[in-house]
Amino acid sequence: MKLILASNSPRRREILKEAGFTFDVVVTPFEEKDVALSPIETAVNNALGKATATFNSLRDKDAVVLGADTVVYFNDCILGKPKDSEDAAKMLKTLSGNTHTVVTGYAIITQNGALSGFSESKVTFNTLTKEQIDQYVKSGKPLDKAGAYGIQDGYNLVKTFEGSLNNVIGLPIEQIAPILKEKMKTDN
């Protein structure tokens, strides 16, 4: 059975590939939503929306489709992808010296149904100077990431984290891999 990743994220592709999976990438337009939902509901619903839209677009339904969505939240506020450099700097200033939560929701869809779940990690930022924030924003790296940062980007942003590093990067493969392997074996 073929595995389809319903995500354009280079980080998700890398994690899935490093875990030994062979897959195709098929991305169908889906508008992410976070209106009045908890961070967990937001991440899971968006992952399910992405996976469902992609599965429905397939001619050959003999596939396993994986969708994922990562949200960063702090003080009851979801920090999505920054709109621009100014927004990225504002988010980084907010996270500086504080602990926030990263939730990645996932959805796995086959012709026999859908399964969804999530992983949560806590991340504590170093206290960042204006210069550190400016340098990181100038690199362009924060612009396509929830919360305006990538823990893997090589900048000294994060002091500590609890939970799955892969979750913070964007795909909790430790949790997802066994499910994918089972679905790819049994859903024929």
Enzyme catalytic residues: 69
Answer yes or no: are the C-beta atoms of 66 and 6 closer than 8 Å: yes
